[in-house]
Structure 1
Amino acid sequence: MVLRSCCKFGPVSVLFRLGYLALLLLCVTHLRCARAETKTVVQKDAEFDVTYNDTVTSDNQTIYAFNHTVSRNKTEGVRVTVDVLSEGAESSPILFVVRQKQAVLSFQVPLILRGLYQRKYPYAHVGRTLCQPPTRTLSETQYFFVDVSTLSSLGTHYQLRISRVDSFTLHTDKKFSFTASPSQPQYFKYVFPDGVDTAIVKVNSEMTFPCSVMSIQDIQCPVYDLDNNVAFIGMYQTMTKTAAITVQRKDFPSNSFYVVVVVKTEDEACGGPLRFYPLRPDELIDAGNRSKTLDVVVSPAISSDVYVMGMLFCLGIFLSFYLLTFLVACVENKRMHRRREGLLNPADMSPAETASLLGKPGVTPVSPYEYGSFADNASTLSSEAITDSIASDANYGYMERSLESVTGRSRQESLSSIEEDDYDTLADIDSDKNIVRTKKYLCVSDLARKDKRVLSKKYQIYFWNIATIGVFYALPVIQLVITYQTVVNVTGNQDICYYNFLCAHPLGNLSAFNNILSNLGYVMLGLLFLLIVLQRDIIHSRALDRHDLNALECGIPKHFGLFYAMGTALMMEGLLSACYHVCPNYTNFQFDTSFMYMIAGLCVLKLYQKRHPDINASAYTAYACLAAVIFFSVLGVVFGKGNMVFWIIFSVLHILATMLLSTQLYYMGRWRLDSGILRRIVYVIYTDCIRQCSGPMYIDRMVLLVMGNIVNWSLAAYGLLKTPNDFASYLLAIAICNLLLYFAFYIIMKLRSGERIQCMAMVCILFTAVVWGFALFFFFQGLSTWQKTPAESQEHNRDCIVLSFFDDHDIWHFLSSIAMFGSFLVLLTMDDDLDDVQRDKIFVF
């Protein structure tokens, strides 16, 4: 019509008609605004505990006015409950606005809550608790208003009820039961009583699902009590059946806090099943019945006296080992002093003979203070009191010449000029080491032919390398865990760290001080072991300086570098385990296990070194292999869960490494991996298996290696079939199984060779076995697990069992540190019976 008019009447008429249309549009807009201004507003004086049934449209708005008396000595909650009875209300929801003195609460009904992937869940029944602002007077009357409005022109029927919550305040050690749902969250107030500075809030339920959230918030408005905002403030953690948060008075200026419980719209955060996807992005999903019955109880936490008792208990346990070591050293010194007096002054020897004996050039009086606990007393006494007593001047001269022939160099020669090469710096350089090492029956003298200063330098590298590794490893770890703890304290997200929340005692900024303190044993006992090794090292060095024949030619060669490395590794394990327990989770679990691999590897190397000092692995090779193990540990934690490709690759590499190591051990290091390896393998199979069907030349070694391959292949098959989630623990189990297998083989072969185990070593073995048994019992209690969701992990939480301060895992720390210390002592003392036996009479196995 407008176009026709434009063509018929010309430009003036067109302008006139356009102006007319604009005026008409303005009039319509004015009429609509006037209609809006004439919207009916009805205010009603309302009462508590009365249900109001009403209808709201876009033409009317209802305001309910309430008043109630608030007392400073008594806190009452006010609960708003709303039901929408009309169908199709999702398209035009009702808006409820509650205006209070210091807060405004608004929500729509049906309440739309969003879940994972923005899925929408409508709730037509909504219940909210009003925030209670504090009052400064003894009693005052407060007013609040509930505004009800909508844009629906058809009208929506609803029910409104305001009621008092008489049990709004929680009391100490009194359980309170309630029901919550996603649209009906609950929160309660707790006030610290006098004398209570720390409290633990526990929420429990018989129902695993629906998933819930427990939050601790300061007394302020608004209170964040919906699934989509409960994480905005305060401390919170997800839960299935149980949740616990330790609260300190210093964090709440008002000496009180709210305990908020919210039921989530979905269960994925608690490890529940993933629900179906909506067909359309705007589709509303029926959430079903997600009500959950819960219990809440607030109990006083431990006092500062318990902290002091816990620290004294921890220190007392490990200081007792220092005291016990000192007592054993005193007893050994006294016993050896009496024995020396008996040898130097026998009853049937005349004073003149005794004087002449002491006058011999080879006999030097030895102070009893040079002997100590776990010292090689038998060898020292035998060399000083017996050998020197019966040796003539000619024999003494022979001993001096023998020393020169063994060392092959002057003592004044600098150690820096001594290098180890492919020729092994053997004293008898004209002999071929291949001939020596391939004999059917080997003695320690055959594999202890290198210059002792070369070997000492070689094995000291173990200690310096692990000390360097420890420093560079620990510094970024400490920095990282401090960041973790800071994030937990700032965000309040208790799900970041997998604590045993029922026995997590904070101190300062640390959330679980008891789990950190219990690692003190690793450090203290590692230091004690280093002191014991240092004493032995000093005694052995003095014996060498005196040209002691037993120290030169008897017993297992004394090399202490690996022992120093083991003690250092134990101390680092304590430090890194403490760092891990600052905030335990799956991303930093390797902090707790890395030096466990180190300890297991060093113990195996030390066992092998006892009988094979010349051919033991160098520090660089050993630590490179351990680095590869830690590398696979990290890969397994990140990619190993359910990844069959990773498990196939790892199992193949595990089996290949086992076979290569077996070949290296069987041929005593005379096997090389080069281009001719396949030809040599075929030749050995042809000559030994096909042509003459001869048995293995080294029976004992073959038995050990066959058993080792069976064990490792079985472990590889288990990992491939079961694909355990905890790859780090699986890898540690492989290392421990191999260590135990080799240790059992060593003990059996030692007894089979006619050797004996002295009393001190036997006591250490029995004591260590018992302690390991109890330690593993507490380890497998499983108080938390980062393999599951935080809510599922909390189901395993338990109360403290010792002094109300330490839990089962702390007891594991105590016992495992003692057991590791005992294991080290076993390795240190198990061959003391050979200290007076010539090395050419000690068998290699």
Structure 2
Amino acid sequence: MVLRSCWKSRHKNSGGPAPCWIRPGLVAVLCLCVIQIGCGSGAVGETKNVVQKDAEFDVTYNDTVTSENQTIYAFNHTVSRNKTEGVRVSVLSQLSESPILFVVRQKQAVLSFQVPLILRGLYQRKYPYNHVARTLCQPPTRAASETQYFFVDVSTLSTQGTNYQLRVSRVESFTLQTNKKFTFTASPSQPQYFKYVFPDGVDTVIVKVNSDMNFPCSVMSIQDIQCPVYDLDNNVAFIGMYQTMTKKGAITVQRKDFPSNSFYVVVVVKTEDEACGGPLRFYPLRPDELIDAGNRSKVLDVMVSPAINSEVYVMGMLFCLGIFLSFYLLTLLVACLENKRMSKKRELFQNPADMSPAETASLLGKNGDGKTPASPYEYGSFADNGSTLSSEAITDSATSTDNNYGYMERSLDSVGRSRQESLSSVEEDDYDTLDDIDSDKNIVRTKKYLCVSDLARKDKRVLSKKYQIYFWNIATIAVFYALPVIQLVITYQTVVNVTGNQDICYYNFLCAHPLGALSAFNNILSNLGYVLLGLLFLLIVLKRDIVHNRALVRNSLNALECGIPKHFGLFYAMGTALMMEGLLSACYHVCPNYTNFQFDTSFMYMIAGLCMLKLYQKRHPDINASAYTAYACLAMVIFFSVLGVVFGKGNAAFWIVFSVIHILATLLLSIQLYYMGRWRLDSGILRRMVYIVYTDCIRQCSGPMYIDRMVLLVMGNIVNWSLAAYGLIERPNDFASYLLAIAICNLLLYFAFYIIMKLRSGERIQCLALVYILFTAVVWGFALYFFFQGLSTWQKTPAESREHNRDCILLSFFDDHDIWHFLSSIAMFGSFLVLLTMDDDLDTVQRDKIYVF
């Protein structure tokens, strides 16, 4: 009816029916009628009084508004192209069920808000604010100077008069200055934002917002210069880059992302603190219940500083390359010195007449009486080169006339197998063909004192193939593991760049230098050491492998029957794992967070497991685990790592199950190591256990037959049971690091046992290996210091993680975690060299005189 009356009045005033060509204007007439209805004119017979006032800045207007009157405040100010002034509208009113609507009309924008302002939090809880202050956006002007007008309309539908206070003022320091700190106060209903213009010659800046207050939680945002500005809790994440913060916040901004060469720094205080790790407020009793927000004002300061330039990037990359390429040069130098020393040694072998008898005896590893020690505990008097030979070996060396290099060789007949036979294909099952092979194994492996020759009886070609599988398996694993990881982190980085959500990735934002699409290039670059040093280790192993194979071709006695059996498959696997650790760590640091942390630790488990297997293989080459069994166990470890990250946080059931599995695995491994694999897990295991306890503990109290192994296993069980109890009681949030700590503790325990037993057996550590050990220990100490600095942590919220952020400390490019990458890669490389060289003193000792432990 109202629309019909509006149309009739328009039709009557027109003097007759509207022609056809006018009828399309029906839409415009209807819109005009709707406007009249909205204003209360003609619809309900009421007339609203509209009063317009010329207003001034920095004047407080106290007034009353009802549904019958509307007030418009007219302001004008001069805008200069070279100077931007902020304008802030502040309104204070009493809390009322009928809000007052404030509409600010500008030349290029309209801003509207109600008082009390209702902001929603988690679970749609509502928080009213009666004091609202908003900054008007200032679009750029083309003229050198112009006068702009804007109007503040005040209206309400309440029939009762509502008092309010209105004040419009200019914002001091609206444009931020480079390297100049500015302090301000913000609240959920009184957000703040400021403008920054890139100065000439500066392409990248870091915006830092700090506060002495943890809470209330706040959000800092970087937005382009446009209207409207999204400066409320419910819309600040719509555009630009943003991140939550408690005490610290930092965002790196590049000029290329802002065509206007300027941007807004927006700071909004959130209505609730859950996003920053704060407590969750009580749930309202009724859905429409308003919750008192209390005082949520926060004092903050903002400062914009220029980021590093391209020269610092170049210096950082050259430094990283220089550090690790120097290891290649150092390795080449050591190889040259070693070759020179070996050349002199060959000359001494070829000219024994130039040596005194004492020097000859010392070089050949003989004691003063000309005898060679026979017991593993009796050959402690090692010569300078750490060699001990039997009289047969010395005789073979002395009678060898066709050896131009001084290597001790013997004929094909003395080797016991023809060259043609050794080249034939052989399988591991070919060895176990006798019916009494199991009893033979029991006799050999259960002796009280074992020598390496007892556990190196299998054909070397079979074992070589067996251990090469380690390398090929880990290479296959690396390919199938790395490809989806790379795809995933590229997706993560794309999401961060598109959405602008800086809470997805846990960077050290105070030292995160972008390059291209990457947000923290320095954290990725510092992983280069793992790749380069892993490759260098593979080259060193390859060189040793070639030298050993050449010695086998010459039928060298040292290569065939002396020293620890040379199997390089595990070393190749270790080098490959080190390279993959660098690649996956770099992938993790593309966007570090709790969902992809296992990328950074998976190959750390691999490295720890391979190192323990290599230590065990040195003295037990015949009974070491196969590649399939080893990688299956490591796969279970990684599987539990993922479960721990997803379900382990505070889940008692998960920790109980894991602790039980951990203890059972420790016991089973202890039995396997103690009996050298000569036990069976079947239905009669309990009966045999009871029988052993009865005969060895009850019937007669006899000590363990293998004292050394028992000491190691008791210590290992104490350590692992303690770690299991710690995990069950404390339930650490970082389950992946807890699992890695278990692996490292076991590795260090076994390595310490190996060194102690090696020295206790009369063996010694050569000078070069000793240097590696001391160097590696020192580097590990410094590396762990930087690791525990904790620049970020995904165990907490992103805002809490940023509280640990720190500035760069090396070349203004690398932070503490980057130095951890440098030092840990060097320390791992040194650890590998220790495993490679620690038994070089046994290269001329017959295997039946090398003790097994």
TM-score (structure 2 length as normaliser): 0.89
Task: Tell whether the 8 Å contact from 2:593 to 2:794 is kept in structure 1 after alignment.
Answer: yes
Task: Tell whether the 8 Å contact from 1:521 to 1:817 is kept in structure 2 after alignment.
Answer: yes
What displacement does 1:52 show?
1.0
What displacement does 1:394 show?
14
Give the unaligned 5+ runs of structure 1: 1-27, 350-375
- Counterpart CA distance in 2 for 1:181 and 1:382 is 86
1:358 counterpart residue number: none
1:13 counterpart residue number: none
Within the candidate set 805, 814, 817, 1:806 is matched to: 814
2:524 counterpart residue number: 516
Aligned residue for 1:163, secondary structure, equals: strand
* RMSD over equivalenced CA pairs, Å: 2.5
Deviates more, 1:327-336 or 1:33-42: 33-42
Task: Tell whether the 8 Å contact from 1:383 to 1:550 is kept in structure 2 after alignment.
Answer: no
2:255 counterpart residue number: 249
Task: Tell whether the 8 Å contact from 1:425 to 1:451 is kept in structure 2 after alignment.
Answer: no
Once the two structures are superposed, the pairs formed by residues 643-658 of structure 1 within 5 Å of their partners are 643-658=651-666
1:359 counterpart residue number: none
1:46 counterpart residue number: 55
1:410 aligns with 2:421: yes
Aligned residue for 1:298, secondary structure, equals: strand
1:20 counterpart residue number: none
What displacement does 1:409 show?
7.3
What displacement does 1:431 show?
7.3
2:834 counterpart residue number: 826
| Counterpart code for 2:117 | L
- Counterpart CA distance in 1 for 2:45 and 2:484 is 66
1:371 counterpart residue number: none
Task: Tell whether the 8 Å contact from 1:382 to 1:836 is kept in structure 2 after alignment.
Answer: no
- Counterpart CA distance in 2 for 1:383 and 1:334 is 28
1:604 counterpart residue number: 612
2:648 counterpart residue number: 640
Aligned residue for 1:246, secondary structure, equals: strand
What displacement does 1:166 show?
2.5
Task: Tell whether the 8 Å contact from 1:187 to 1:260 is kept in structure 2 after alignment.
Answer: yes
What displacement does 1:341 show?
1.5
1:73 counterpart residue number: 82
1:208 aligns with 2:217: no
| Residues 399 and 429 (structure 1), Cα distance of their counterparts in 2 relative to 1, 3 Å cut | farther
1:138 counterpart residue number: 144
- Counterpart CA distance in 1 for 2:438 and 2:597 is 53
| Residues 538 and 723 (structure 1), Cα distance of their counterparts in 2 relative to 1, 3 Å cut | same
What displacement does 1:63 show?
1.0
* Count of residues in Structure 1 that have an aligned counterpart in Structure 2: 786
- Counterpart CA distance in 2 for 1:634 and 1:297 is 40
What displacement does 1:160 show?
0.7
Aligned residue for 1:230, secondary structure, equals: coil
Within the candidate set 123, 129, 143, 1:117 is matched to: 123
Task: Tell whether the 8 Å contact from 1:761 to 1:830 is kept in structure 2 after alignment.
Answer: yes
- Counterpart CA distance in 2 for 1:516 and 1:603 is 26
| Counterpart code for 2:323 | I
- Counterpart CA distance in 2 for 1:394 and 1:475 is 53
Within the candidate set 525, 530, 536, 1:528 is matched to: 536
- Counterpart CA distance in 1 for 2:438 and 2:415 is 19
1:107 aligns with 2:120: no
- Counterpart CA distance in 2 for 1:30 and 1:608 is 90
- Counterpart CA distance in 2 for 1:703 and 1:261 is 62
Over 3 Å off, 4+ runs: 28-37, 346-349, 376-389, 392-399, 421-431
Task: Tell whether the 8 Å contact from 1:715 to 1:734 is kept in structure 2 after alignment.
Answer: yes
What displacement does 1:379 show?
7.8
1:289 counterpart residue number: 295
Deviates more, 1:379-388 or 1:62-71: 379-388
What displacement does 1:429 show?
6.3
- Counterpart CA distance in 1 for 2:38 and 2:58 is 43
| Counterpart code for 1:218 | D
1:506 aligns with 2:517: no
What displacement does 1:422 show?
9.3
- Counterpart CA distance in 2 for 1:707 and 1:381 is 35
How high is the sequence identity, in percent, across the aligned residues? 87
Deviates more, 1:195-204 or 1:33-42: 33-42
| Counterpart code for 1:132 | Q
- Counterpart CA distance in 2 for 1:75 and 1:39 is 37
2:774 counterpart residue number: 766
| Residues 430 and 73 (structure 1), Cα distance of their counterparts in 2 relative to 1, 3 Å cut | closer
What displacement does 1:691 show?
1.1
What displacement does 1:156 show?
1.1
Task: Tell whether the 8 Å contact from 2:385 to 2:841 is kept in structure 1 after alignment.
Answer: no
2:174 counterpart residue number: 168
1:400 counterpart residue number: 412
- CA deviation string 1:561-588 (max 9, x = no partner): 0000000000000000000000000000
1:190 aligns with 2:190: no
- Counterpart CA distance in 1 for 2:710 and 2:123 is 60
Give the unaligned 5+ runs of structure 2: 1-36, 356-383
- Counterpart CA distance in 2 for 1:826 and 1:717 is 32
What displacement does 1:421 show?
3.4
What displacement does 1:345 show?
2.5
What displacement does 1:36 show?
5.4
- Counterpart CA distance in 1 for 2:836 and 2:344 is 24
Once the two structures are superposed, the pairs formed by residues 268-417 of structure 1 within 5 Å of their partners are 268-348=274-354, 389-391=397-399, 399-405=411-417, 410-414=421-425
Aligned residue for 1:275, secondary structure, equals: coil
1:694 counterpart residue number: 702
Once the two structures are superposed, the pairs formed by residues 481-500 of structure 1 within 5 Å of their partners are 481-500=489-508
What displacement does 1:672 show?
1.3
What displacement does 1:33 show?
3.7
| Residues 385 and 701 (structure 1), Cα distance of their counterparts in 2 relative to 1, 3 Å cut | closer
2:34 counterpart residue number: none
Task: Tell whether the 8 Å contact from 1:424 to 1:450 is kept in structure 2 after alignment.
Answer: no
Deviates more, 1:123-132 or 1:428-437: 428-437
| Counterpart code for 1:828 | L
Task: Tell whether the 8 Å contact from 1:593 to 1:728 is kept in structure 2 after alignment.
Answer: yes
| Counterpart code for 2:93 | V
| Counterpart code for 1:138 | A
Task: Tell whether the 8 Å contact from 1:336 to 1:377 is kept in structure 2 after alignment.
Answer: no
Task: Tell whether the 8 Å contact from 2:409 to 2:558 is kept in structure 1 after alignment.
Answer: no
1:58 counterpart residue number: 67
